[in-house]
Amino acid sequence: MAIDPDFEENYEKVEPCNPEGGHEHDVWGPVDPPEKLGIHGTRVAVDFDLCIADGACLEDCPVDVFDWMDTPDHPESERKADPAREDDCIGCYLCEDVCPVDAIKVKY
Ligand code: F3S
Ligand code: F3S
Ligand code: ZN
């Protein structure tokens, strides 16, 4: 399973995410923490329920869009790649390519 490329139609916006050191961005739900966390970001969207904390996106993004966010008790992983600076994305699509579980969708 990969992130739903039509999440803007199939999900609904819930309370936004405003991470320390980053910028406020959309969260697409429904969410029901800690098990169901939805999708963070729109321009660079990460499906937190698919992310297994591989970390390739954090390592490879040339403009440092992602930060770790702790997600204790989530069944897939205890931290997620939060698109904290999605507005800095330059559309290189590396993150989409390297994510082993296809959790990222970039709309540049
Ligand atoms: Fe970074 Fe992915 Fe954009 S690697 S520059 S967030 S396409
Ligand atoms: Fe998660 Fe994929 Fe990045 S598993 S940490 S979104 S490479
Ligand atoms: Zn977030």
Residue of minimum CA distance from atom 6 in ligand 1? 89
Taking only the tens place, the pLDDT of each residue in 1-54 is: 999 999 999 999 999 999 999 999 999 999 999 999 999 999 999 999 999 999
Is residue 56 in contact with ligand 1, taking CB distance under 6 Å? Answer: no
Closest ligand 1 atom to 83 CA: 6
Closest ligand 2 atom to 47 CA: 6
Token couple for 22: 């980053």
Is residue 45 in contact with ligand 1, taking CB distance under 6 Å? Answer: no
**Number of domains comprising the chain:** 1
Contacts of 37 (CB under 8 A, 6+ apart): 31, 48, 49, 71, 74, 80
What Å distances lie between residue 49 and 21, 45, 77, 89, 99, CA to CA? 23, 12, 9, 22, 14
What pLDDT, on the 0 to 100 scale, is given for residue 18?
Answer: 98
Token couple for 15: 């309370």
Structural domain boundaries, residue 14? 7-106
Residue of minimum CA distance from atom 3 in ligand 1? 89
What pLDDT, on the 0 to 100 scale, is given for residue 35?
Answer: 98
Token couple for 17: 């995410």
Query: Which residue type, as a one-letter code, is found at position 67?
Result: D
What pLDDT, on the 0 to 100 scale, is given for residue 69?
Answer: 98
Residue 56 sits in a domain whose CATH number is 3.30.70.20
Ligand 3 centre distance from Cα of residue 37 (Å):
10
To the question of pTM greater than 0.95 for the whole model, the response is yes
Residue 58 CB burial class (10 angstroms; 0-12, 13-18, ≥19): middle
Average pLDDT, stretch 82-87? Answer: 98
